[in-house]
A and B are shown apart, each in its own frame.
Chain A
Amino acid sequence: GAVVSQHPSWVICKSGTSVKIECRSLDFQATTMFWYRQFPKQSLMLMATSNEGSKATYEQGVEKDKFLINHASLTLSTLTVTSAHPEDSSFYICSASRSGTSGTDTQYFGPGTRLTVL
Chain B
Amino acid sequence: RKEVEQDPGPFNVPEGATVAFNCTYSNSASQSFFWYRQDCRKEPKLLMSVYSSGNEDGRFTAQLNRASQYISLLIRDSKLSDSATYLCVVIRRGSARQLTFGSGTQLTVLP
Contacts and interface: CB of A to CB of B under 8 A. Distances in A.
A67 interface: no
Nearest to A104: B32
B100 A46 contact: yes
A93 B43 contact: yes
B44 to A, nearest CB: 6
B87 A111 contact: no
Contacts of B100: 46
Interface in B44-87: 44-46, 87
A49 B46 contact: no
Nearest to B6: A43
A114 B43 CA distance: 11
In which size bucket is the chain B interface? 10 to 19
Given A42-B103, A43-B104, A44-B101, A106 B41 contact: no
Nearest to B34: A107
B29 interface: no
Interface SS, A side? strand
Contacts, number: 40
B45 A109 contact: yes
B93 interface: no
A105 interface: yes
Contacts of A114: 41
Contacts of A105: 97
Contact of B43 (A45, A49, A106, A111): A111
Interface in A91-114: 91, 93, 95, 97, 105-107, 109-112, 114
Contact of A112 (B43, B98, B102, B104): B43
24 contacts: A32-B97, A34-B99, A43-B101, A43-B104, A44-B44, A44-B87, A46-B98, A46-B99, A46-B100, A49-B96, A91-B41, A93-B43, A97-B97, A105-B97, A106-B46, A107-B97, A107-B99, A109-B44, A109-B45, A111-B42, A111-B43, A112-B41, A112-B42, A112-B43
Interface of B: 41-46, 87, 96-104
Interface of A: 32, 34, 42-46, 49, 57, 91, 93, 95, 97, 105-107, 109-112, 114
